[in-house]
Structure 1
Amino acid sequence: MKNIFKTFSGVKSLIQNLDIEKINTLSQKVDLNEMIGIVSKMSEEDLGKMMKMMKGGGGQKEIPPINGDFYELGKTLPPHEREIQLRVREFMESEIRPIANDCWNKAKFPMEIIPKMAELNIAGLTYSGYGCPGHSALLEGFIAMEMARIDTSISTFFGVQSGLAMGSIYLCGSEEQKHQWLSKMQKLETIGAFGLTEPEVGSAVAGGLTTTCKREGDEWVINGQKKWIGNATFSDITVIWARDLDDQQVKGFIVRKDNPGFQAEKIENKMALRTVQNALITMKDCIVPESDRLQNANSFKDTAAVLRMTRAGVAWQAVGCSRGAYEVALKYTNERKQFGRPIASFQLVQDLLVTMLGDLTAMQSMVYRLSQMQDNDELLDEHASLAKVFCTLRMRDIVDHARELFGGNGILLEYDIARFVADAEAIYSYEGTKEINSLIVGRAITGHSAFV
């Protein structure tokens, strides 16, 4: 009874605090005495609802923080690795987010961020020795995710440098080559690229490389072309994979940018990863000394070992791209109002957001376990391939749902989502198409190879 009286008094107070003009206007529309009589007969619950409505819904609604890591997997990292993850996040938020759209739109790479990125001390994160930090593959995955969450182009630049280029030397180089290059690459003083894909050979690289090499004394002569080679327009060295004309085996070479017969031409007019400087490389009687041949790369199996390691990173990139799309979409739905309320309050919008979050959380859980297997030296080709297939498929769904929530604004670069949608198409294709990775997994679970 006391609460009812309190509520009634509150209604009376609201009416009394209205100015005379408003009271006169209100009295023309309703019988105030009748209204008070009705209020006096209302239940405590109904009175409370009415008071909340009269006060404008109880003030500003508190919006939960935006967090795409719904199961808080990042908090399972050891404190020193969690600190590194959050430092990378801060770098991406403060240094990359403000320039990401402009660089993407102009198809230019922000060279000025390389020294700043070097200060993070994260290149070659999982390698032991040679100036490398020697952290876990799990942390490396989180870093790939943090970068792609803001800009997949920057994540790709770093993945080529730290994964493909440094990884080729770390896994296939001699001790002399590792000491010569890895420390400088870890500090980003030497920038690397990785040349495997060719204009006419993508999925068939295992047995169909048209780039050839032939030994002549203490030198090798390389002829052929490579396409889609990230970083190659400004890299100091490029790891080139070529088929030996004498034994038909694939071999790897560290080719310097000033090697005679080596030319890198920027690929223009891309619709994805526009900030990444992809090149068409042409080698005409390119001379490489035997000392720059990767001494432990003697067949495509050695190349595949590098790809196995980095393919897990691509799955993490797909998670990052998806998380970035989900988070910008969630933020937008709380800011965008239609019919007098945020679109986040509508059922169909919430259904899309929950669907996105469910897919994203499944992806995160999958790559988390994938990196654990890598840390335990249990990672096989089929494990990495399944993650690449699943995560890139779900990524496509997530960015599509996110784009839908933006309506017409979704095609404007300023809202970020258009960049995520476009860049997702590149992640879907590189490091092995969906079909090739599916066949790798299919061979593992059936015992039958369906490759041509």
Structure 2
Amino acid sequence: MLPFPDADLMYIVDLLPEHERERYLEVREFLQSSVRPASIDYWNREEFPFGLLAEMGKHGLGGLQTDGSSKLFKGLMYVEVARADVSLSALVGIHNELIVGMIDELGSQEQQDRWLPGLKSFSQLGAFALTEPDHGSDIAGGLATSARLEDGEWVISGAKRWIGAGTIADFALVWARDDADRQIKGFIVETDRPGYSATKISNKIGLRIMQNANIVLDNVRIPESNMLPGATDFSKANDLLRDSRAWVGWQGAGIQLATLDVARSYSVHRKQFGKELARFQLIQQQLAEIVGNASASLALMAQLARIQEDGKLGMVQAAMAKSTCTRLARASVAMGRSILGGNGISTDFEMGKIFGDAEILYTYEGSYEINSLIVGRGVTGMSAFV
């Protein structure tokens, strides 16, 4: 048995109350024993593991947003799903923070009754359709998808890109600009409606299990009641988008723990020059940096959970958490890949998979550079955005 087998050198899990700690350990065991080993083959094939969804739902991963859990518990669940597989952690995070969260907080009673039970059990999936082919970082000002009210129906036209679960979801939560008042509003668009089409984006270097899609909305007609009544302008969604940005920080911590798992195990078993790699100073130095980066990320995120509970979380803290943890993750994963040498580029040893996924974390939910500018503006009072 290795020292600190769970790599929690700062005893973050001990901050949970006993009932949450017991549930955390149970879900972690399920993720490590069932999800993590199965995910590699799906990642290689760019296929989605539908067979895992029901069990994930039974373990409560579809309802973290509304089950009354503490922010720390929810965050540590995101860590452990990312430790098992980053694609599925993206599904779980977007599902909770942006789909369940939006409908629960901004949806009508009818929408909540219609969708939330299935979403919480993972028997239904939603896709969050915001990013567009020509608008990513500038989406708030540049969003081009349009919506017009016509004879009691909304008619939506436009295109979306990089939409997670876009090809497998039961509905897409589409953000479109109302032609009448030019405000960005949220709409539930069932994916079987005429005019909705989604094409899988293939050949990705990471997040290969997540079924990202290009979506085309060609005069899609939906009932007037499909608009989220609480999302009549984009500012209504800002709090949930802020929390979603912070969620990526938890993913950054989780992928570093996955890196440590693989690199440490490899180094204590692999022999070169007659002794284990772990006995070489250069290897220990890299492992020490990885565990230091991971511990710093977990400690930062645990404090973020505390201020989130206190209602003090702002966009500057969320952006700092996302940018810092993903920067450290990128560095940690690079060292982990190095420890495995040539085997580090192969998914047969898992590290190649982790290495590709780390690049995606660095870019989505606002690129590293954009989040850095948000932090810079927050601490100087001066905007460096164009």
Instruction: Indicate the residue corresponding to 2:355 in structure 1.
Output: 421
Q: Is this contact kept in 2: 1:172–1:295, CA < 8 A?
A: yes
Partner of 2:43: 104
Q: Which residue of 2 aligns with 1:229?
A: 163
Which residue pairs with 2:376 in the alignment?
A: 442
Q: How far is the alpha carbon of 1:75 from its aligned partner?
A: 1.6
Question: Quick check: 1:344 aligned with 2:283?
Answer: no
Shift of 1:200: 1.0
Q: Work out which of the residue numbers 47, 55, 59 in structure 2 matches 1:120.
A: 59
Is 2:253–2:325's contact at 8 Å kept on the other side of the alignment?
yes
Larger radius of gyration: 1
Asked whether the 8 Å contact 1:150–1:324 carries over to 2, the reply is yes
Task: Map 1:269-418 onto structure 2 (within 5 A).
Answer: 269-418=203-352
Tell me, yes or no, if the aligned pair for 1:172 and 1:297 is still in contact at 8 Å. Answer: yes
Contact 1:402 1:417 in 2 (8 A): yes
Mapping 1:146-295, distance limit 5 Å: 146-295=80-229
Deviations 1:197-255 (A, max 9, x none): 11111000111001111111311111111111111111111100011122111100011
Shift in Å, 1:99: 1.4
Q: 1:63 to 1:119 in 2, by over 3 A?
A: closer
**1:173·1:294 contact (CA, 8 Å) conserved in 2?**
yes
2:226 and 2:97 map into 1 onto residues whose CA distance is 19
Q: Which runs of 5+ in 2 are unaligned?
A: none
The answer for the alignment partner of 1:88 in structure 2 is 27
Q: Which whole-Å CA distance do the structure 2 matches of 1:378 and 1:445 have between them?
A: 16
SS of the residue aligned with 2:187?
Answer: strand
Query: Secondary structure of the equivalent of 1:286?
Result: strand
Structure-2 separation of matches of 1:313 and 1:307: 10
**Superposed CA offset, 1:73-109 (max 9, x none):** 1121111111221122111112112211100000001
Q: Which residue of 1 aligns with 2:364?
A: 430
Task: Give the CA RMSD over aligned residues.
Answer: 1.3
Name the SS of the counterpart of 1:112 in structure 2: helix
Tell me the distance in 2 between the aligned counterparts of 1:283 and 1:139.
38
Give the distance between the partners of 1:419 and 1:224, measured in 2 at CA: 34
> How far does residue 257 in structure 1 lie from its aligned partner after superposition?
1.2
Shift of 1:185: 0.9
Between the aligned partners of 2:2 and 2:152, the Cα distance in structure 1 is 67
* Structure 1 CA distance for aligned equivalents of residues 105 and 229 of structure 2: 10
- Separation in 2, partners of 1:373, 1:65: 28
The answer (yes or no) to whether the contact 1:228–1:278 under 8 Å persists in 2 is yes
- The aligned length equals 386
The 3-state SS of whatever aligns with 2:50 is: coil
Distance in 2 (alpha carbons) for counterparts of 1:94 and 1:350: 27
Q: Which amino acid aligns with 1:345?
A: R
For residue 296 of structure 1, what is the amino acid of its counterpart? G
Alpha-carbon distance in structure 2 between the residues aligned to 1:314 and 1:422: 16
Higher RCO, 1 vs 2 (CA within 8 Å, ≥6 residues apart): 2
Find the residue that maps to 1:283 and give its secondary structure: strand
Letter in 2 for 1:158: V
Give the deviation of 1:63 after TM superposition: 4.2
Contact 2:65–2:101 (CA<8 Å) still a contact in 1?
no
SS at match of 2:370: helix
1:78 aligns with 2:17: yes
Distance in 2 (CA, whole Å) between partners of 1:83 and 1:228 is 36
CA distance in structure 2 between the aligned counterparts of 1:235 and 1:160, rounded to whole angstroms: 12
Runs of 4+ in structure 1 off by over 6 angstroms are none
Cα shift at 1:150: 1.5
Query: Alpha-carbon deviations, 1:308-333, whole Å to 9, x = none?
Result: 11112111001101110112101110
| 1:30-69 to 2 correspondences below 5 Å | 63-69=2-8
Alignment-mate amino acid for residue 301 of structure 1: S
Structure 2 letter corresponding to 1:109? F
- Following the alignment from structure 1 to structure 2, what is the Cα–Cα distance between the partners of residues 378 and 187? 31
Aligned amino acid, residue 292 of structure 1: N
Between the aligned partners of 1:100 and 1:120, the Cα distance in structure 2 is 17
Structure 1: 5+ residue stretches without partners: 1-61, 128-132
CA contact (8 A) 1:174 1:295 kept: yes
CA contact (8 A) 1:171 1:306 kept: no
User: Partner amino acid for 1:76?
Assistant: L
The residue aligned with 1:137 is 71
Shift of residue 65 of structure 1?
Answer: 4.8
The answer on whether the counterparts of 1:104 and 1:274 sit within 8 Å (CA) in structure 2 is yes
1:13-24 pair list within 5 angstroms:
none
TM-score normalised by L of structure 2: 0.97
